[in-house]
Amino acid sequence: MTGRLEGKVAIITGAARGIGRACATAFAAQGADLVLLDVCGDVDGVPYPLGTRGQLDHTAKTCEAAGASVITTACDVRDPAAARQAVEAAAGRYGRIDVLVNNAGIAAPSGKVVHEITDTEWDVMLGVDLTGAFHLTRAVAPVMIGQRAGSIVNIASTAGLVGYRNFAGYVTAKHGLIGLTKATALDYAPFRVRANALCPGSVRDDPHLEGRMLVEIARSLAVDTTDHEAVFAEQQPTNHLVEAQDVAATAVWLASDESPHVTGSVITVDGAFTAR
């Protein structure tokens, strides 16, 4: 029995750790070959360490052990030239690009009311969480149009559907990402290129994935990080945090041929958080 993504080539941004690593390993297990991107260094204005080259290489080795062919590239998604070069390298190596997972994202700088947010803080948040997805989508679209096939999966958030206090930049970026998803789906529907948004709720920072998004959100909200998972779980109707693998499994479905008419959709993986 072949994998659900056998023969497909997927680009995944923010692949060094967290949801990006979960998506990469899930895609590899289903037969995809991979182009894994991450910034591989810190970014001015982001108050916590971002994914490293070593973490990206660890993701790649895990995927190669599952049988995938893997390219890794250090790429700041805010840089349109870097995005274009990564896509060109992927197309040159594999001859096609079937899937783009726009996962790269930051949770902070956050924790301020709107009038206290600086221009620099606003720019870095939107640059990574929204404009980066635009850069990769713009670069990959001509390849997918030429193939008359492709799936773009944008990792948004429940913050793309509802507001959160003291997170105006993040909320704006994720709402914008959902808007970009819908516009992309309509623009490329005639070419059988699909675009969908995934909106995770509070995702547990799995130590095996080296994720740290939830703890950084907790710090921005001044939540005690020794007990922050329990605090966030209490806000979930299911009383459980979402697992990164849950998000990755949904991304696999959207990337596969099992969802041929699913496009322009916004799919929550949030334990009914936004159902209230």
Catalytic positions are 170
**For the chain, what's the residue count?**
276
Q: For strand 193-200 and strand 99-102, is the pairing parallel, antiparallel, or unpaired?
A: unpaired
**Residue 201 near residue 276, CB atoms below 8 Å:** no
- Give whole-number Cα distances, 132 to 26, 61, 104, 233, 268, in Å: 23, 25, 8, 30, 21
* 235 C-beta neighbours (distance < 10 Å), count: 12
**Residue 131 near residue 79, CB atoms below 8 Å:** no
* 210 C-beta neighbours (distance < 10 Å), count: 16
Distance CA 5, CA 189 (A): 21
User: Which two tokens mark 168?
Assistant: 């105006």
Amino acid at 171: V
Distance CA 160, CA 158 (A): 5
User: Which two tokens mark 228?
Assistant: 């922050």
> Which DSSP symbol is given to 128?
I
Distance CA 264, CA 73 (A): 29
